[in-house]
Chains A and B, each alone.
Chain A
Amino acid sequence: MNAHVVNRSAAEKTLFRQFAEQQAREPSPVRAAAFARFAEAGLPTRRVEAWHYTDLRAAMADAAPVLAAPTPADIKAARLRLARRERFAPGAQLVLLGGRYIGELSDRLPDGVTVTEGAVLAVPVADPLAALNEALSPSGCTISVARGAEIAEPITILHLADGMSDYSVYSRSAIALNAGARASFVEVFEGAQARVQRHSATIMTLAKGAKARHVAVVGDEPGLHIETHVCDLAENAELEAFGLISGGDLTRRQIFVRMTGDEAKVSLGGLALIDGDRRADTTLQVVHAAPRGTSREFYRAIVDDDAIGVFQGKIIVERAAQKTDGAMKSQAILLSPRAQMNEKPELEIFADDVVCGHGATVASLDPEQVFYLRSRGIPESDAKAMLLEAFGGESIDRIEDELLIEALRARLRAWLGSRM
């Protein structure tokens, strides 16, 4: 369909075939439109600014077969695994197996929260992988929180992967908070191994005065993890989001936030723990589209061995967004002489009455600090672990939930412990 794009990569050819097969089974004009948007751009290369440091076209040798819906036997096996598994956070849990919401594996939801199955639509964001997700994902589910409902415990969305075969898995969930609602969500990705290619999208909408927390935990070992998180905030809505990456060969978390209503508030954060020859890319786009919005972005990365970290953050302040207050900070520590970190913090500002800034640093552990601790008798490896836990912990501590902080810090300690 695109005469000007001549050379399709092997992975692109497979994706075209997979999509054609899907259309043959169940034709959908909406998916076709989404796939056309993907096809227009193809798999991104360095030439696409938002993917400047992650050449997905080069990295993806092929697209693995799309995983079929789980069988009753798969569900039974998953039930056994769930029974043995320790939960990351308290509260109700929804289980997605093979990218599909499985009611019989999920908990009863608290009053005020409902889940409905069906197509998850969204205002498209300009990204080929977000479009690919829309084209190939099973229909998904929408979690809604009723007007004014305040949900005390977090709701976990568990993305459970299974088996040892090659497959790609797509999922799509929506989280909708009605006016004045408050709720906290944790997406935990678990069980994937190196031959899994995972494409996940979460579309959040926060109505007037709604407050949501969203924590993503990527701790398993998929070959590819592409996670798109889209959030739209109405007037006075607030979002607090955090992402922990501690596994996966190639991980990309892309977060698109749009403050559509006045006086919306956003606090985004993340911690990437990257070792071996992993690559982890966090890319943000925060659009201030209305006046008096506040955004805070605070991201940290610890990069070791031959790993490569990427942080890109773009704050866009549209003409209407007067009195915007935006501050972004990204900091990385390189632990090995071969580790790499690439950062691209961007400001794109079209309104004059704003206060915006960003800071970015890349360095190694501060030798003065290591020396201070050692001068008190603390062994070098303990001193470094302490400093790294402090460095990572400061990004986690910005979340306003003690239990989640503790659970995330435990992951951080486990990661540090496994390496020391």
Chain B
Amino acid sequence: MQNWYPGDAQGRGGIYNFVTKRGDCRGARSKISWTQVETGSAITWKYPSCILRGEASRGEFYSIAISNGHQQVDSGTKMIHLGRNTTSRIISKGVAAGKSQNTYRGQVSAHRLATGARNFTNCDSLLIGQECGAHTVPYIEAKNSSAVIEHEASTSKVSEEQMFYCLQRGLSAEEATALIVNGFVRDVLQQLPMEFAVEAQKLISISLEGSVG
């Protein structure tokens, strides 16, 4: 969970967060699961990756990336399938607000010997406000006919009906947004241990402060 200083109102002085993380699944049925909640820093470049070498090894990447103000987030993962029957799953939820730019960038490759490899990727983006941007850049590379790779992505804004429903029940626009965003990222929050999930939820609400109104 990353919540470093994102800079002042103009985005000045924020932390640059450039991270390399790589995991190597060497043994049969070994597993690596990366779960991240990225809310801070002025610029984040972060691609926690898995090299799936062991037979039937598994890589997972669950990500929530929230950007607000002038933040720029460019994050995602690489799933490199080298071994037989390796599987991977990528769930990425990006939320862009303010003047921020939020990019998912990921690579899934199934190499020649990775027979029976399977990947499922879902990356959804939510836009809040008219000055932000959300981008999705997946690289899919299948070098093996028994691999099955499925990728789906969507980008939309907070639904007006959902918003109205919440407002009508007396929530403020900000509360409503936080509620809806928490719903949007739920698939990933569920991957977190209970205490973290509670923290993450609060963090998301704080990160989005001032994004509506």
Is A65 in contact with chain B by the CB < 8 A criterion? no
Is B132 in contact with chain A by the CB < 8 A criterion? yes
Is B140 in contact with chain A by the CB < 8 A criterion? yes
- Given A358-B152, A363-B149, residue A340 in contact with residue B134 (CB < 8 A): no
- Given A343-B140, A344-B137, A351-B130, residue A357 in contact with residue B145 (CB < 8 A): no
- Given A335-B145, A340-B143, A348-B133, residue A359 in contact with residue B156 (CB < 8 A): no
- Given A355-B156, A356-B154, A358-B152, residue A336 in contact with residue B145 (CB < 8 A): yes
- A331-342 vs B: 1/0 string, CB under 8 Å? 010111111111
Query: A355 — which chain B residues lie within 8 A by C-beta?
Result: 154-156
Query: B155 — which chain A residues lie within 8 A by C-beta?
Result: 347, 349, 354-357
Task: Report the separation of the CA atoms of residues A360 and B142 in the bound assembly, to the nearest whole angstrom.
Answer: 12
Interface of B is mostly: strand
Inter-subunit contact A337/B144 (CB<8 Å) = yes
Could you tell me the distance in whole angstroms from the C-beta of B107 to the nearest C-beta in chain A?
Answer: 10
> Which of A322, A337, A349, A357 is B135 in contact with, Cβ under 8 Å?
A349
Is B138 in contact with chain A by the CB < 8 A criterion? yes
- Given A346-B136, A352-B130, residue A362 in contact with residue B147 (CB < 8 A): yes
Q: Which of A298-318 contact B (CB under 8 A)?
A: none
Could you tell me the distance in whole angstroms from the C-beta of A144 to the nearest C-beta in chain B?
Answer: 38
Inter-subunit contact A364/B156 (CB<8 Å) = no
Task: Report the separation of the CA atoms of residues A401 and B35 in the bound assembly, to the nearest whole angstrom.
Answer: 49
- B135-179 vs A: 1/0 string, CB under 8 Å? 111111111111111111111110000000000000000000000
Could you tell me the distance in whole angstroms from the C-beta of A339 to the nearest C-beta in chain B?
Answer: 6
Which of B136, B137, B152 has most A Cβ within 10 Å? B136
Is B127 in contact with chain A by the CB < 8 A criterion? yes
> Which of A322, A337, A346, A347 is B145 in contact with, Cβ under 8 Å?
A337
Is A372 in contact with chain B by the CB < 8 A criterion? no
Inter-subunit contact B148/A363 (CB<8 Å) = yes
Inter-subunit contact A356/B156 (CB<8 Å) = yes
Task: Report the separation of the CA atoms of residues A351 and B135 in the bound assembly, to the nearest whole angstrom.
Answer: 11
- B49-78 vs A: 1/0 string, CB under 8 Å? 000000000000000000000000000000
Kindly report which residue of chain B lies nearest to residue A317, judged by CB atoms: B155
B-side interface residues, number (CB < 8 Å) = 34
Task: Report the separation of the CA atoms of residues A141 and B133 in the bound assembly, to the nearest whole angstrom.
Answer: 40
Could you tell me the distance in whole angstroms from the C-beta of A211 to the nearest C-beta in chain B?
Answer: 28
Query: B157 — which chain A residues lie within 8 A by C-beta?
Result: 352-354
Inter-subunit contact A352/B145 (CB<8 Å) = no
Kindly report which residue of chain A lies nearest to residue B104, judged by CB atoms: A347
Query: B150 — which chain A residues lie within 8 A by C-beta?
Result: 359-361, 363
Kindly report which residue of chain A lies nearest to residue B120, judged by CB atoms: A361
Inter-subunit contact B134/A337 (CB<8 Å) = no
Inter-subunit contact A357/B134 (CB<8 Å) = no
Which of B134, B135, B145 has most A Cβ within 10 Å? B145
Query: B133 — which chain A residues lie within 8 A by C-beta?
Result: 348-350
Could you tell me the distance in whole angstroms from the C-beta of B189 to the nearest C-beta in chain A?
Answer: 22
Q: Which of A48-85 contact B (CB under 8 A)?
A: 52
Is A108 in contact with chain B by the CB < 8 A criterion? no
Could you tell me the distance in whole angstroms from the C-beta of A298 to the nearest C-beta in chain B?
Answer: 15
Is B43 in contact with chain A by the CB < 8 A criterion? no
Inter-subunit contact A357/B154 (CB<8 Å) = yes
Is A319 in contact with chain B by the CB < 8 A criterion? yes
Is A345 in contact with chain B by the CB < 8 A criterion? yes
Inter-subunit contact A360/B135 (CB<8 Å) = no
Q: Which of A125-169 contact B (CB under 8 A)?
A: none
> Which of A319, A336, A337, A358 is B136 in contact with, Cβ under 8 Å?
A358
Query: B156 — which chain A residues lie within 8 A by C-beta?
Result: 354-356
Inter-subunit contact B130/A360 (CB<8 Å) = no
- B120-133 vs A: 1/0 string, CB under 8 Å? 00000101111111
Could you tell me the distance in whole angstroms from the C-beta of B47 to the nearest C-beta in chain A?
Answer: 16
Inter-subunit contact B138/A344 (CB<8 Å) = yes
Inter-subunit contact B146/A337 (CB<8 Å) = yes
Query: B144 — which chain A residues lie within 8 A by C-beta?
Result: 334, 337
Task: Report the separation of the CA atoms of residues A256 and B131 in the bound assembly, to the nearest whole angstrom.
Answer: 25
Inter-subunit contact B125/A362 (CB<8 Å) = no
Inter-subunit contact B130/A319 (CB<8 Å) = yes
- A203-239 vs B: 1/0 string, CB under 8 Å? 0000000000000000000000000000000000000
Query: B130 — which chain A residues lie within 8 A by C-beta?
Result: 319, 322, 351-353
Query: A334 — which chain B residues lie within 8 A by C-beta?
Result: 142, 144-145, 147
Inter-subunit contact B145/A360 (CB<8 Å) = no
Task: Report the separation of the CA atoms of residues A353 and B157 in the bound assembly, to the nearest whole angstrom.
Answer: 6
- Given A351-B130, A352-B128, residue A361 in contact with residue B151 (CB < 8 A): yes
Query: B137 — which chain A residues lie within 8 A by C-beta?
Result: 344, 346
Kindly report which residue of chain B lies nearest to residue A343, judged by CB atoms: B140
> Which of B131, B141, B154 is A342 in contact with, Cβ under 8 Å?
B141
29 contacts between A and B (CB under 8 A): A319-B131, A337-B112, A337-B115, A337-B144, A338-B112, A339-B145, A341-B142, A342-B140, A344-B139, A347-B153, A349-B125, A349-B127, A349-B133, A351-B130, A352-B130, A352-B132, A352-B157, A354-B127, A354-B156, A357-B155, A358-B136, A358-B151, A359-B153, A360-B138, A360-B150, A360-B151, A361-B148, A361-B150, A363-B149
**10 A-B pairs closest in CB distance:** A334-B145, A357-B154, A352-B127, A362-B142, A343-B140, A347-B136, A360-B151, A363-B148, A350-B133, A359-B152
Beyond the given pairs A349-B125, A351-B130, 18 more chain A to chain B contacts, judged by CB atoms under 8 angstroms and listed by A's residue number, are A319-B130, A334-B147, A341-B140, A342-B141, A345-B140, A346-B138, A348-B135, A349-B134, A352-B128, A358-B152, A360-B140, A360-B150, A360-B152, A361-B149, A362-B140, A362-B142, A364-B145, A364-B148
